[in-house]
Amino acid sequence: MLTHMSQNKNTALHRVTTLCVGFALFMLATLAQAAPPDHSYAQWNSLVQKHVKWLPGKKASQVDYAQFAKDREALKAVLKEWSAVTQEEYNAFSREQKMAFLINAYNGFTVELILTKYPKLKSIKDLGTFLKSPWKNEFFTLLGKPRNLDWIEHEQLRPVFKDPRVHAAVNCASVGCPALLDEAFTAAKLNSQMETGFKRFLSDKTRNRVQKDEIQASSIFKWFKEDFEGGSGGFQNLKDVFAKYAKELSDDPAVQQQLIAKSLEVTYLDYDWSLNDVGR
């Protein structure tokens, strides 16, 4: 009899324990689902602060992919968190929150793409094929659907937000690309981060310069000319861009006046697709 009663008590205790554990797991799952997106991007911020290195003058940066690879699990955790953001949550973001989210996602997933083959590559282009560029490879999920990097840049950032400075914010893991920022983009600092990044890009003489009485500009200005002409920057043509940022393009007052007068012709530099790896 006592043994039977003891068994009943153990059974009841087991049921109660199981219910408590089940309820606790349910609450944790519910809280996890209800957790709002981290608009400070603290974990991504920590990773880029650790692994993005400025070159002298802070006009260009390189990425320490070898060290980034050691933090691969931390990176994957960040990307998983971004992939969990739903379309409904994204729709509730402010304009600046949406842009910061997409820029960080582009940069973060680009680093992950490089790490899938690093160090056995010399360029991000090595990750593509004859039929498909690496930017069209659907290797991640965002807003509930399989996505590629082109979707972020060419279907969202460029046509939706129409801010040409975004070309100095997203990074294609290449030497010719504007610098990858060593901090996360956030809504609160988005405008200043984009403006600083764009000025830094234009003042980098390896990417944009005035020589031989001509503006020798990055091919980005050729490929995305339409973004700079009639976008939210208020420019009618590329010469308007170079006139506004004359001080970034040249330290010579006489040349600055030529830029402002829009008397210089524009030519384009070859783009360096080499990997922006530390030491290369």
- What local confidence, expressed as pLDDT, does residue 83 receive? 98
Instruction: Enumerate residues 6+ apart whose C-beta is below 8 A from 163.
Output: 99, 194, 231, 232, 233
**Average pLDDT score over residue span 196-206:** 97
- What local confidence, expressed as pLDDT, does residue 262 receive? 97
**Could you tell me which residue, 8 or 66, shows the higher pLDDT?**
66
- What local confidence, expressed as pLDDT, does residue 37 receive? 81
**Average pLDDT score over residue span 205-225:** 96
- What local confidence, expressed as pLDDT, does residue 66 receive? 98
Q: Look-up: residue for tokens 């002298």?
A: 56
Please state, rounded to an integer, the average pLDDT across all residues of the chain.
Answer: 90
- What local confidence, expressed as pLDDT, does residue 280 receive? 77
| For residue 184, pLDDT beyond 70 | yes
pLDDT tens digits, one per residue of 48-57: 999 999 999 9
Confidence class for position 129, pLDDT limits 50, 70, 90: very high
Confidence class for position 203, pLDDT limits 50, 70, 90: very high
CA pair distance 199, 210, nearest whole angstrom: 15
Instruction: Write the secondary structure of the chain as one string of H (helix), E (strand) and C (coil).
Output: CHHHHHHHHHHHHHHHHHHHHHHHHHHHHHHHHHCCCCCCCHHHHHHHHHHEEECCCCCCEEECHHHHHHCHHHHHHHHHHHHCCCHHHHHCCCHHHHHHHHHHHHHHHHHHHHHCCCCCCCEHHHHCCCCCCHHHCCCEEECCEEECHHHHHHHHHHHHHCCHHHHHCCCCCECCCCCCCCCCCCCCCHHHHHHHHHHHHHHCCCCCEEECCEEEECCHHHHCHHHHCCCCCCCCCHHHHHHHCHHHHCCCHHHHHHHHHCCCEEEECCCCCEECECCC
- What local confidence, expressed as pLDDT, does residue 55 receive? 96
pTM of the model: 0.87
Burial code (b: 16+ CB inside 10 Å, e: under 16) for 114-129 equals bbeebeebebbbebee
pLDDT tens digits, one per residue of 132-163: 999 999 999 999 999 999 999 999 999 999 99
Instruction: Enumerate residues 6+ apart whose C-beta is below 8 A from 153.
Output: 106, 135, 166, 170
**Could you tell me which residue, 12 or 40, shows the higher pLDDT?**
40
**Average pLDDT score over residue span 257-273:** 98
- What local confidence, expressed as pLDDT, does residue 20 receive? 43
Question: What is the percent of the chain with per-residue pLDDT over 70, rounded to a whole number?
Answer: 86
Spell out the domain ranges in the chain: 9-35, 39-268
Confidence class for position 232, pLDDT limits 50, 70, 90: low
| For residue 100, pLDDT beyond 80 | yes
| For residue 62, pLDDT beyond 70 | yes
Confidence class for position 110, pLDDT limits 50, 70, 90: very high
- What local confidence, expressed as pLDDT, does residue 3 receive? 47
| For residue 7, pLDDT beyond 90 | no
Confidence class for position 279, pLDDT limits 50, 70, 90: confident
